[in-house]
Structure 1
Amino acid sequence: MLRGPGIAGLLLPALLFSLLCPKLAQTENILAIFSYTFGSSYLLITPFLKSLVQRGHQLTVISAVKEMPHIEGVHHIRVPKLDMLRQLLLDYDYDIEMSKWIEAQFVSEYFYNCSKFVLEDPGVQELLHNASAQYSMVILEASHTDALYGFSQHFNAPLVGIAAFGSAWNIDFLVGNSAPSVYEPMSALGYSPGLSLMEKWHNLIFITEERLVERFIYLPGQIDLYKQHFSGVSASIHELRRKFSLILINQHFSMGRVRSNVPNIVEVAGMHLAEPTHPLDDELKKLLDEAEHGVIYFSMGLQVLDKWLPPGMINTMLAAFQQIKQQVIWKMNNPAMANNSRNIYARSWLPQREILNHPNVKLFITHGGLLSSIEAVHYAVPQLCAPLFYDQFQNTKRMEQLGVARRLDVMNLSPDAVVKVIEDLVYNASYKQNARYLSQRFHDQPMSAMETAIWWTEYILRHKGADHMRIAEQEMSLMQYYNVDVVSVLFGRIGLSVIIVLFLGWKLVSLVTRNLEYRFNVPMVR
C-alpha cells in the first residue's frame, strides 16, 4: 500500500527551500518611474529592474515605449508622448556654444514636459485612481523630475533614486549632505578647474547661478505639476525632496571621483555591465582579428547626432584617419560618408562592449559619456575624449588626471593635431599601463555593482524605508537646512576678526602718530 510523505517529510523540504531562497519570502510590490527619452539611460536601469524581478519582486514600470525594452514579468505602463518628446529633441538644432541661461531654459522646459507627459498619461492616471494599488517602494530618476516624487507620498512608500549621470550639488541637497563638493556643477559650460583663487570664486558664483536657475526657472513648473496631480497629499514638494531613503549613484571613487557621501548614497558605477553583451558578427570579428596595427574604435554615444557635431569635425576626423596605420571602426549616423576610405569601417550601430573587450583595440575615441567612460575603464582601453555636453567635460577631466586619456578641443581641430594625439595615445605605453591599473582598481570591490545595488535596495525594503540611514538635516526646515545658525557664527567670527584687525590697525596708527609728535614736537592733524 502506497503511503504519503508524512508531515515531517513535507516540512523539511519547505524549511530548506525557505532558507535557501529567502527572497521569495520577502517579495514586494515596487513602482518604477523613468521619463528618459533616450536609450543610454535605459541601458543602466534595465539590468537593475531585471535583477529585482529575478529576486521575486513584483514590478510596475512607467517608461517610454521604444527605448525601454520589454521585461518578462513586469507590468509595463508605456507613455507614448515621451517618444514624441524624444523626436522633438532629435529635430532640435542644438548649439554647443549657447549660454548657460538659454540652456537652462531649454532643459527646464524639456524636464517639465517629461513630468507632464507621465502624469497626464491615461494608464498612469488609472493607476493613481486605483484604490487597491499598493507599493512598498517607488524608484525613479533622482533629479530634474521633482513632480514625480508625489508618487511616493501618494502610495506612502519609501523613495529610492537613481542618479544615472553621477552626482552633483543637487544630489547632495536631496540627501541632506551639508558638505557638498562645490567643484561639482550640473553643467560644465564655462566652468574652470578651480586652481587659482579667482577660479575658485568664479566657480562659486557659477554654482550659485545654478542654484538660482533651479529655484526660479526649473522648480516652479515642477511645483505646479505636483500641486495639480497630487492635490490630496499633505507634504510639499520641498519636503519630499528631502525624503529620499536611498540614491544609487552611477559612479565609483576608484575612478577619481571621491566625495563626502552620506550613508544613503551608494555608488554603483558599472551596474549596467551585468547585462549580457551583444556578440560580434563574423565581419566585425574578422576585421578586429586581422588588423595588423590594431584598431581604433570611434563612437560619440547613442544620443549624439552627427548634425550636433561642430562644423567640419567629421571631415577633419576622416582626413586624420587616412594618415594613420590603424583600422578605424566608427559608429556614425551616416556610414556611407566613411566607408569608401581604405582603413575606416562604419556602421550606425555597433556592439561597443564586445569591441572594447577585443585585445586588438588600442584606443577608444569617445564623447566622454559616463557609461562609455565606465566601459573603457572596465576593459582597460585608453581614451581620446571629445566632450560636447554636461558631465562629459568632468568625466574627461578625471580620465586625463588618471593618465588614461587626452582631450580633443572639438571647436579647434586640425587633422595633424588629431594624428599627433592619436599616435601619442597608441605608442606611449604609459596610457595602456595606467588603464590596466585603473581597471584592476575598479574591479577590486567586495561585490559587483549590481549586487551592491540590489542589496541596498532590499535593505530599504526590509527596514521599511530605513529612516535611520538619513541624517537629521533631511528633516529640517528650509531655514534650518541652510544652517542659518552656522552662517551666523561664521559671519560673526569674520565680523569679530575684522573688528579686531581694525582696532589693532587704529592702535598702530595712533602709536605711530604719537611717536611722530614726540620726535618732531609737532601736533598731527586728526
Structure 2
Amino acid sequence: MKIAKILVALLTLVICKRSTQAENILGIFSYTFSTPYKVVIPYIKALVHNGHNVTIISSISFLPDIDNVRHIRVGALDRLREIVLTFDHSEWSNSKWKESLVSCKFHYNMSHAILSDSGVQSLLQDKSEHFDMIVVEPTHTDALIGFAVHFNASLVGLSTFGFSWLTDHLAGNSAPSVYKPVKPLGYSYGNSLLDKWNNWIYIAEEWMIDRLLILPGQVELFTQFFHLPSSLLLERRTSYSLMMINTHFSLGRVRSNVPNVIEVAGLHMAEPSEPLEPELLDFVNGAEHGVIYFSMGMEILTAWLPKTMKQKMLQTFSQLKQRVVWKHDVHTMPNKSDNVYLTSLAPQRQLLEHPNMKLFITNGGLLSTIESIYSGVPMLGMPIYFDQFDNVERMVKVGIARKLDINNPTEEQLMSNIKELLENPIYTLKAKEMSKRFRDQPTSPIESAIWWTEYVLRHKGAPHMRMTDQDMAFVPYYKLNIFSVLFSRIAFSAFVVLLVCIIVVNFLLKEFQRNAETPSVLYPSN
C-alpha cells in the first residue's frame, strides 16, 4: 500500500512538472506547396507530444489536421498557388533579377494573405491570446515577425530549404566563408580568386535585392497590420533565438555555426513512410538488373519540363536492361516500353531504400537529396530552379552524382551518364559511405529540434546563445577603431605640417615673383 502511494505521488509530480513546462507556441507557415510541410508536420507532432499548446497558421490544402493542434486556415494561400501554376517559368528562370522580381511579389502576397485573413486578425485582436514562441520560415516573409513583437515572444526560424547567407545573417552567423546564395543561378563553385570575387559580387547583389526589393514591402505590411514603427521590425529581424536549418555537415559542406544555429537535416523522416503497393512491389522485386527511379518532384514541375523531354527519356529507358519507376501524373503513355512503370503516388523513401534500387534521376530537391543520401543511392541531377542547382552541384562535388542541363539533353548524354553511374562502382561506394556518416548521429534530427526548441523556452529566449553585433562587427573585433584614432592623429599632424609647408612655399614663390617683376636700375656707361 505504501509503495502504491509513493508511485501515485511520483506520477502526480511528473504530470505536474509536464503541465508546468507546457508552453504556447504559434507556427506561421505561408507555404503554397506540400513539400515544406513534410518538414513541419513531424516537428509540430513532437511539440504536441511533449505537452505544448500549438496553434498553426497555414494554407488549407497542404497541411492536414493534426490532433490537439488549433489550425487557422488561410484560403488566399491556396489561391496564390493557382496563380503560380500559370507562370511561364521559362521567361524568368534564366535571369536572377527577373526571378527576384517574381519572388518579391509572390512573398509580399504570401505575407499579405496571412495578415489580412479574418481568422488571423481575430487572433491578433484577442487580448486573451498569449504565445511564448513564434516559429516561422525565415526567408523573405519578414512581416510575419510582427507576431513575435505583438506577443512579446521568442522568435524561432525553421528553414525547410536549408541555409543561405540570409539565414546566417538573420541568425547572427557572420562567417563569409560559409555563405551561399538564396538563388544560386550564376553562382560560381570554383576556388580561384576570380570565382571568389564573382561570388562576393553575387552575394552583394542579393543583399541589394533583399534590402531594396523585398524588405520595403514587408516593412509596409508590418506597419500597416501591426501599427508599430518599422524600426521594431528591423531590430527583431536579426534577433532569432534559434535557427533550425535543413542541412547537416555530413551532406557535403561543413559550416562554422554559432550556438543558435542547429542542423536538423532529415527532420521529415521522423514520419513513417508509406509501403509500396503490391503491383509496384512485384515490379521492383522482379528487377534482375536493378531499378532506376525517375521523379522530378512536385506536380508544378511537370508543366515546366521541356516538351521533348518525355520522348527522350522514353527512348533512353527502352534501351536499358534495368527497370524504371517513373513518377508521372498519368498512368498511360504512348510508346512506353515494358521496363517502365508509371505511378503518380510513388512512396519515394520505400523505393530508395529497396535493395534493388541502383539510381535516382531527380531534379535535386532538398528532401529528395537527403532521402537519396540516407539510402546510399547515386543520383543523376537535372535541376530546374532555386536551391536545386546548389544541391546537385554539391552532390557532384562529393562524387555521388552527375549533372545534366534539363533544357537540352540529348539521348546520347542521357545514356552515357546513366551508364557511368550504373557501371562505375565508385558512385555507389561513395553514396554508401555518405549514408553511413549521415546516419551516425548521437540523436535523431527530430530529437535535436525539439530539445533545442525547449531549451529556448526554458531559458526565456536564450539570448546567451546569440552572438551580439559588438562581438562580430568587423571594426571593433579587429580593433580597427584604435588604429583609426592613432592614424587619424598622425594624419592630422601630417596635414598641419603639409599646410604650413604649402603656406611657406606659397609665400616664398610670391616674394620671388615680386622681386622678379621690380625694374632694375640702369647706370650710365663711362
- CA-CA distance at 1:441 after TM superposition: 0.2
Alpha-carbon distance, 1:24 to partner: 4.0
Is contact 2:85–2:300 with CA below 8 Å preserved after alignment? no
SS in 2 for 1:35: coil
Supply the distance in 2 between the matched residues of 1:10 and 1:212 (Cα, whole angstroms): 66
Q: 1:252 to 1:30 in 2, by over 3 A?
A: same
**Higher Rg:** 2
The change in CA–CA distance for 1:349 and 1:90 in structure 2 (over 3 A counts) is: farther
Compared CA separation, residues 488 and 320, structure 1 to 2 (3 A): farther
1:66 aligns with 2:57: no
Query: How far is 1:14 from its partner?
Result: 2.9
Q: Is the 8 A contact 2:222 2:230 kept in 1?
A: no
Which residue identity does 2:57 align to in structure 1? I
Q: Which amino acid aligns with 2:256?
A: S
1:264 to 257, 260, 264: 260
Which amino acid in structure 2 is aligned with residue 226 of structure 1? F
Deviations 1:38-62 (A, max 9, x none): 0000011101101111111111000
SS at match of 1:362: strand
Matches within 5 A, 1:244-259: 244-259=240-255
Name the SS for the 2:332 alignment partner: helix
**Aligned runs of 1:99-138 on 2, under 5 Å?**
99-138=95-134
SS at the partner of 2:456? helix
Aligned match of 2:170 = 174
1:316 maps to amino acid = K
Aligned 8 A contact 2:290 2:323 in 1: yes
**CA deviation profile, 1:79-111 (whole Å, cap 9, x unmatched):** 000000011111212116431111100000000
Aligned counterpart in structure 1 of residue 468 of structure 2, from 464, 468, 472: 472
Q: For residues 192 and 29 of structure 2, what CA distance do their matches in structure 1 show?
A: 40
1:111 partner amino acid? H
Change over 3 Å in CA distance of 1:487–1:90 after alignment to 2: farther
The whole-number CA distance in structure 2 between the counterparts of 1:427 and 1:18 is 61
* From 18, 21, 27, the counterpart of 1:26: 21
Instruction: Find the aligned partners of 1:183 and 1:73 in 2 and give their Cα distance.
Output: 39
AA in 2 matched with 1:49? I
Q: CA deviation at 1:432?
A: 1.2
Letter in 2 for 1:291: A
Determine if the alignment matches structure 1 residue 444 to structure 2 residue 427: no
Cα distance in 2, alignment partners of residues 292 and 37 from structure 1: 41
User: What is the root-mean-square deviation in Å for CA atoms of aligned residues?
Assistant: 2.3
2:78 corresponds to which residue?
A: 83
Q: In structure 2, what residue type is equivalent to 1:466?
A: A
Structure 1 Cα separation of the partners of residues 467 and 275 of structure 2: 45
| One-letter amino acid of the structure 2 residue matched with residue 410 of structure 1 | I
What TM-score do you get using the length of structure 1 for normalisation?
Answer: 0.88
Match 1:419 to one of 399, 415, 420: 415
Output one character per residue of 1:311-363: Cα deviation in whole Å (capped at 9) or x when no partner.
42222111111111111111123443368322111122211111111111110
Question: What secondary structure, in the 3-state scheme, does the structure 1 residue paired with 2:176 have?
Answer: coil
Equivalent positions of 1:56-455 (< 5 A) are: 56-95=51-90, 97-181=93-177, 183-232=179-228, 236-337=232-333, 340-455=336-451
Task: Give, in angstroms, the shift of residue 30 of structure 1.
Answer: 0.7
Would you say the 8 A contact 1:172–1:180 is kept in 2?
no
**TM-score normalized by the length of structure 2:** 0.88
How many residue pairs match? The answer is 485
Deviation at 1:489, TM superposition (A): 3.8
**Are the structure 2 counterparts of residues 303 and 484 from structure 1 closer, same or farther at C-alpha, using a change threshold of 3 Å?**
farther
CA displacement, residues 178-223 of structure 1 (integer Å, 9 cap, x when unaligned):
2134651111111111322222211111111100000101111000
Unaligned stretches of 5+ residues in structure 1 = 497-526
Q: Any gaps of 5 or more consecutive residues in structure 2?
A: 488-526
**In the alignment, residue 142 of structure 1 is paired with which amino acid?**
P
Q: Give the whole-Å Cα distance in 2 for the aligned partners of 1:313 and 1:195.
A: 33
CA distance in 1, matches of 2:335, 2:17: 54
SS in structure 1 of the partner of residue 101 of structure 2:
helix
Contact conserved, 2:314 with 2:335, CA < 8 A, in 1? no
Say which SS state the counterpart of residue 193 (structure 1) adopts.
Answer: coil
> 1: CA distance between counterparts of 2:464 and 2:281?
52
* Cα distance between partner residues in 2 of 1:304 and 1:298: 16
Q: Which amino acid aligns with 1:117?
A: A
Q: How far apart, in 2, do the equivalents of 1:312 and 1:110 lie?
A: 30
Runs of 4+ in 1 over 6 A off after TM superposition: none
Q: Do 2:93 and 2:385's aligned partners in 1 also have CA atoms closer than 8 Å?
A: no
- 1:333–1:347 CA contact under 8 A, matched in 2: yes
What residue is the counterpart of 2:45 in the other structure? Answer: 50
Shift in Å, 1:294: 1.0
Q: Partner letter of residue 317 of structure 1? A: M
Shift of the 208–402 alpha-carbon distance from structure 1 to 2, 3 Å rule, reads same
Equivalent residues of 2:29, 2:137 under 8 A apart: yes
Q: Distance in 2 between matches of 1:238 and 1:183?
A: 21
Secondary structure of the 2:227 match is coil
Question: Is the contact made by 1:183 and 1:203 (CA closer than 8 Å) also made in structure 2?
Answer: no
- Residue number in structure 2 paired with 1:501: none
